[in-house]
């Protein structure tokens, strides 16, 4: 069975913004999805954040083109009233992290990939960095 992984916004920004030294790991995860070996889920919230950040550095047209291409590799997790309410009641320090986490849970992801694992101490699913995920993926083969 394929891994169904949730990418936090920072990992999507690493990939689409080609941010070093994080780009390579994010790109390897995207390649696994492109080959059909894993499924990537991203919150609807992440798209607006990524567009905003990328458009400041690369312009709106480039940002939109990158998101359009990336979207072909992903499934979008809906941001529902229930997720918002659950996130508001949760013990996460950061509301946005709670939203990401509960989007991942509602989307039945097996894990969440982020570079900010310390922000997900209240998580109900495993939290891995991109490098940790790639290592665990290789160990399964």
Separation between Cα atoms, residue 66 and residue 49, nearest integer Å: 13
For residue 119, what are the domain limits?
3-140
- Which of 93, 101, 112 has the alpha carbon at shortest distance from 29? 112
Instruction: Answer yes or no: pTM beyond 0.85.
Output: yes
- Total domains in the chain come to 1
Spell out the per-residue pLDDT of the chain, length 141, in tens.
789 999 999 999 999 999 999 999 999 999 999 999 999 999 999 999 999 999 999 999 999 999 999 999 999 999 999 999 999 999 999 999 999 999 999 999 999 999 999 999 999 999 999 999 999 998 876
Q: Decide the pairing of beta strands 111-113 and 74-77.
A: unpaired
The CATH number given to whatever domain includes residue 110 is 3.40.50.1010
The runs of H, that is alpha helices, within 5-43 are 9-16, 23-34
Neighbours of 94 (CB within 10 A): 13
């Amino acid at each position: 069975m394929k891994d169904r992984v949730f990418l936090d916004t920072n990992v999507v920004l690493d990939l689409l913004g080609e941010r070093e030294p994080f780009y390579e790991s994010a790109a390897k995860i995207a390649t696994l999805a492109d080959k059909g070996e894993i499924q990537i889920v991203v919150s609807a919230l992440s798209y607006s954040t990524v567009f905003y950040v990328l458009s400041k550095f690369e312009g709106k047209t480039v940002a939109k083109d990158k998101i359009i291409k990336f979207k072909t590799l992903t499934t979008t997790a809906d941001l529902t009233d229930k997720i918002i309410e659950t996130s508001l009641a949760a013990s996460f320090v950061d509301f946005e992290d709670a939203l990401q986490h509960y989007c991942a849970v509602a989307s039945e992801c097996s894990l969440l990939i982020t570079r900010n694992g310390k922000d997900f101490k209240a998580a109900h699913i495993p939290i891995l960095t991109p490098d940790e995920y790639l290592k665990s993926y290789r160990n399964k083969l």
